[in-house]
Structures are given as structure tokens and as C-alpha cells.
Structure 1
């Protein structure tokens, strides 16, 4: 039975032992027991034993002074457990199932261990079997568990903090995406408005031109008609006025025909892009939330490390290795960013066996052949192909229209990343 102090839990020992008052213990207090009830198998302090004696059913119980139990005058008196069952609070944990190495009250044994053969009454079992409880070993394990709980609690607290931080980052990503969508929609709206403004400006210009033509023809028609109606015309004059009148008539009819062919206001419509609306309606969200499962067993772990000097005499700056590439001949090609060099490192003795000067700062190396590598020079917007067979030399280079940083080679294809 555990108390707030370290005690000897050898139930068969005749040495002095400490016990707690059962009634005080049930109330969360640690009070030393000074009396023992043979019938109840409980220990009581001075105050609680008086309460116990006043209970009608306990009046005739045999109560012993604790010194009688310690002195061994009642060795036949079993040390009865005082821990009550969590499931059956009116019962004590006084039964032991040897088959399952588990303890419980009599009701627990009846329910959970009815098929077990080796069930014992604990006081008799520990007396007959000379059973000793290895409490110190268990206490050590429990302390280790308590420390583990603290570590796990701290880890969970950190995970919660990271989780909340990640949540805010994801929400911020959603807000940024929404802003990008809004900006794109604003741009589409502006283009549509500009198109309408342009079209209507053309229509308005045509209407103004037709009005000018009508105004000009409006004055010509009456004038031509008056000239034809004059009674003092000779044949030549009449001929001329008739031809001129026909020209006026032709111009007027053509103008009227052009006006009738114009697009009217009722013919102008705006046709929305239904595909855009359909796409927005089809999506339930503006993005997908994915979870990456990382198996810790599959992660690489560093088991050791060693520092090596890769500086050569011609280096003017401190070495800064931004990338490395392992070749099949056992050498490692290093990219020295600060010194604008590729360096060949012997992987057996970790010494530099060769260098190649580049026109810019190398960022990443990628193996593309048994004896050839590609290296990016972002500031030059170039990719250089270097033969590293014996003496390192450039075989070719390609230019890009962007700052290239990443390289990958697979299936005879070189992939370039911005």
C-alpha cells in the first residue's frame, strides 16, 4: 500500500511498518493509522476510530491497538488490503488472479475472471507463498513514466503551438489566393469595361458621321427640287439639274441605307463567360488541404561527422559549399560559391585533387553522365556543362532568360528550376 512516504512494503515482515487511516485516505488526507479493525480490515486514526465505533453495525467489531499488530502478537491476523475497488466502491481489492497477474475485488473476479482457476484471497496468498512486492522497482518505473508524461506533455504543447501557427499560415494562404482571384477578376472586369467603352465610342462616332451627312443632304434636297421646279429653265439647264438631283437622291438613299444598317441599341448585348461561372460553381473550395505522412523509420539519420578543409592556395575568400555531387569513380564535385570554383574531392582521403574556375558563382551541381556534371550560374543566367573525367573543362553552356537555381536530371532530360 503506497503512502506519501517511502515505506517497506514487505507484508510478511515483522519489522515496524506505517499505515494510513482508511477514512482519512478516502477524503484525500494522509493520516497515520493507530487502530486496526479485525472485522473491517481497516486502519483508523484516533478521531476516525471513534466515528467507526459509533456506527451501529460496527459496535461489536474487534479493534486492536496498532502496537499489537506490529509486535507480532497477532501473527495469525492477515494484513488485509484497504484499497477500495474503482468499479465496486463498497468492496476492497482483496482478490488476486494468478492466471492474469491482476488484482480486484470479489465481484471483479466473478465477472472478469470466472473461467480462471488460480484465484486467491490476497492475505492468504502472500502468507502462504511468501510473496513480496517489488515496490522500489515499480516506483522507479513509475517515476520514469512520470518523466515520459512530462516530455510528451511538453511535446504536445509545442505541437499545439505549431498547429495554431500552421493554421494561421494556411488561412493567410487562403486570403492571399482570394486576393489573387479578386485581382484577376478586377482585371477581367476592367478589360470588359474597356471593350464596351471602345465599342460604344465607335458606335457614337458613326452616329455623328450620319448626322453630319443628313444635315448636308437635308439642305441639298429642297434646293435640287426648287431648281427643277423653276419655269424658266432651258433644255440644257433642265438636263443638268435633273442629273444633279439624281445624284442628290442617290446620296440620300445611300445615307439612309447606311443608317438602317447600323447596330441599334437593342442589338447590343453582353454575353457573360459561362465557363468561368461554371468553373467557380463546380469547385467546393478554392484549394485542397492535404496531409503528408512521414514515416520516421524511413528518415535518414546522421550517425557521425568529421570536418575537412577544402580550401586551396588560389582561394581568395572563405569557402562556401552550396552543392555537392558524388561521381561513380569515387570523387565528389563541390560547388564553392564564394570562390567561383568547382572542386574535385577524393572521397577516400578527403583531399582536393583538382579545381575549375567559373565565370560566376556556382549554385547547384547535377550529375548528367558518368564523367560530366551541369552547374548553374544564376547571376550569369547560364548553365555550364563540365567534364570531370581527368582535367576538368567546360564542354558547352546554355543561356536562360531567368535566374536558374535548381537542376535535376532524369530519363535523359535536364530539368531547370527558377
Structure 2
């Protein structure tokens, strides 16, 4: 290959164009791109959606919105903040022109001359003079542009405290352990006031910092970088070694040519053409793989670079917040590596000749010979200390007998944890959903218009409930101890399983006739974005779940199996077992391990993210286990039963 994919130049690179960053714009997930590259991505998304409210990060697919949402999407990239840490390491010709923030508020573009460390604002000369004259700001530390050049320590002073990327200008003051995210005061009051574990960073930062392990995170970043480098190098080496195989085919034809007639001349021509076609296809495929791999490599390297800089020069608050963010990045990087860059497909090519005289003398060219390809895979192991190869064991810790007023014996067909550790259950037999406190005591119930089948959390205040045999999804608001209906969504087929797929979208599945079922990605209005069908017997009680990155869909009870699809509908794996009959509830832990309940076999099957079985638990379970839910941060697993124990919740600790 003419050029290597492995860049030797130091410094952060853009994961889109794979070149050195120019005007580095940072999304809330901290992934950083060139302003022009980011704007190109936004423009592409705007073409796909008639009304664009947010974009998804090109690397981790997390949602991001600009600070000023009513501006046209053609200006969004410039509204995301500049990554000052990366900016400080870039050469002068790639740096962004900084303008006075105060003047920009009045639509005037005046070049900045300095930065206020306290106010976090860039200022022109006139504004700096006025700033120094004010009593409230006269003692503020001011940094000149020259003091920021290639000086990460000064950059970290400017970024001290890390302001909230959702609520511009507000400092990070809290950390929600329920959701593993930092919060400003507005974040806290809008979405985390009822959460059980919200920590005041000012009081508890030293203790939290002592629990962090930056060396392990950076070590794992190194491992991922090296893994991606190895993947690209092996792809490059494979492409280089493929050409001699193609040339060898022509040599084989020349040896045979001595014994056969003009048909073999035609065969040689066709084999050469086919070999060159395969070679070009493989080269293009491998180049594309390496391009995508290099994009991820730069993202990992940039994250590593950012974390290392914060560890060297940042405050304790910055170190803690950055490490928490990098833990999330590390998890997503490992998931992407395991899904895309763990196996390398190799192809061998050879000429396959017929073995009889009749074939050689045949007038049919296809009977003389053809080009065959053989594909095999080489697995590259990835071992990260913070990315679990963990196989949690479920140990029962409690059985909770619910005291819920009902007209008929309940059947809890689905359950889910809400913010604040509360629990919501679907009671299929009594057409209602039930809200429990964090100590699993009954709070209230809400009567639905039909039998609820599955439930999922959409955001901090809304849940969705599928209504069996009604082709409807009920959206409910859960604020405090009050449940209110908001709207009803109508689907085109019977909706069984339902799962939140990210901001404003859900995945739903159900039977659609002719021994076919399907799952669809829909928005909150019920508009279908994509649909994928698969073989499935009728009257199949299906459940559905997604992995943590929302890139995989798991469907249970397909011919006594669990099937995994990617978001494009391609089947990734199928898990079935003689000791798995009528699989029902599915849940995923924080490590993307999959738990599926065997209703008729009285067991739980724990699978790894790639679908291999880790363990099957049958002891200590209730008879006929049905629904399952995992609290990811507390690592608590709860199961309901379709038996005489149907009023009880069985709680297990994942150890």
C-alpha cells in the first residue's frame, strides 16, 4: 500500500478527517473535531431530518445540542465550545481566532486579547480595561493570549472547575452516582433532585478522588491504542501479501496451458480479471476498515492525551470529573473494538480446476475452472483492567412480598428502575402500572386502557408502556409520587417488547403475521425510522433489550432462542440451549453482559457481549421466573415470577 495509516505526528487529530485539528470544537461527551468537519457532519444530519433538534457524536453516538438551539443548523458547529486543552498544543497556523465574548453577544466580532480565569470569558482590550475597573472583577486573574500558547497549566487555570456544557456558564457542583454524571445546579434541580446518591463535590471531592485510578485508565487507553494499531498493521500486511497470491494464479494457468487448447487461454483471461476484481474489492474494504479504525484510534489517543494533561496540570475537581468521563469513554471504546476490530477477515484465492478429461474438453468455460475465495478470521485479544471480563454471580439477598391493592392476583410482566432507585412494575392481570419506593414499598398505581406488557424509561420523568394486543404505547409522566398519562402512540402491529434507544427514539417489536415478527425504530410520534423482519412463530411473547451503547438489539423467545441484531437489522448471533425453553425477560448489566430468563426451565442464562454463555443459574430462583431488571450502578438484579409467588420480588446481588 502506498501510505501507512499509522500517523507518527504527535498531537491531537480529528477523528473525521484524520488530520491535525483545526479549530477544535468539543461536544458534551468531550470528543473533539475540526469545526469544518463537525459542521459537515451536522449538515449531513440536517439533510436526513426535516427538523434537527440534536446531533449524535460521530464517535460514541451520544446526543449533543448547541448552547443556542434556535440558531440555524448551519451555524451549530461554531456554537460548541473550543477545546482549550487541545488548542494549546496546536501550531499557530491551526489555532482558532478568539473573539471577545462580550462583544459577540452584541453581534460584533472583535479579536480577543486576554482571558479572565474567574469569568471564563475572552475579552478585547476595551472590555479588559472595563473589567479591571469594576469592583467585583478588579482582582480577577487575567491571562494574555501569549500566556496560553503551549502552556497547559494556564489552560487548566482557564478551565478550572469545568462549566456545564448543557447550561452555559454554570459551574459543576454535584455528581450523581445514580446516573454517573456531573451536574450543575440547574442539572440537579431539573433532573436529579430525586436521585438517591447526589454528592456535593466541594465537600466530598478528596474522598472521591482517592477512589480513582488514573494510571489504570491511561494504561487501558494505551492497550486500546496498541490494539487498533495492530489491527491496521495486520490489515495492511494482509493486503500487501494478497497480490502474490493473485499473480500465482496466473502462473498456475500457464503450467496448464501446455496441455490444453484455446479454452484455457480464455480461462486465463477470466481468472486474471476475477483475481484483480477481488484484489481491488479487498483493498478497498481493508482501506475503509483502517480508515474507520484510525478514526477510533485518534479518538482514544485524544482522550488519553486529555486525561494525561488533566492529571499533570488540572485541579482535583478536574482530575475527578475527567476520570469519570474517561471511564465512560473507555467502556464505549472497548465495546466498539470488540464489535468491529477484534476479528480480521483474511481471504485466500486460488484457481480450482476440474478433475476429469470431459471437463477439460467441455465447450462450457464454467466447467473448466473458476476462482474461489476462502475467508478466515484472526482474533486479536483485548484485555483492559477496567473493562470487565467479569462474570458476576447473582446471590439472593431478599424476597419482597408486595402489599399492593388489586382486584385479581397480579402478574408482573415487566419492571424497571426509575431515577431515585424507585421501581415501576407492569401488572398485566390488573391493567395497571405500580410505583414502588426505593425501599420497595407501594406508593401508587395507575390504571391503563389495556393490559401492559413491557415498560421502559425514556428520561428522568417519562416512561413508555406497551399495551398488549392493542397496537398502542402509553407514555406516562412520573413526577414525585404522581403518575399521569401524557399521550398515546399507535403502532402498525401488535407491540410486545419496548426499549429506549436514545434521545427521542424507541425500539419496539411484535408479531406481524405469516410466521414473521419485526422490530422497528420509532420516534415519540410513532413515526417508523426503520423496520427489520425475522422468522418467528405466531403468538410469541417477545421481550426486547438494548446494549449500553444502543448499538445492539436483543430479542427473546424466537424459537426458544435469544437473537442479537445490530441497528441495521443484521443478525449478530443466536443463543439457544436445551436448557433454555420459553426465554422471556432480558436485561443488560453495566459490562454489557446479557441476562435472559428461561421461563419453562426455571433458570437465568448469563451471556457475554458476543453471545457466549458465561453461566446458567438455576439454584435459588423462584419457580417460573419471568421479568428481570438490573440496577447497573448498584448491581442489583430483581426477578418476578409467574407462579404462586407472583406477589413477590426476588432480589439478587451481582458479586
Q: When the two structures are superposed, what TM-score results if normalisation uses the length of structure 2?
A: 0.19
Query: Which is richer in strand?
Result: 2
Query: Which is richer in helix?
Result: 1
Q: When the two structures are superposed, what TM-score results if normalisation uses the length of structure 1?
A: 0.29
- Name which one, 1 or 2, has greater alpha-carbon Rg: 1
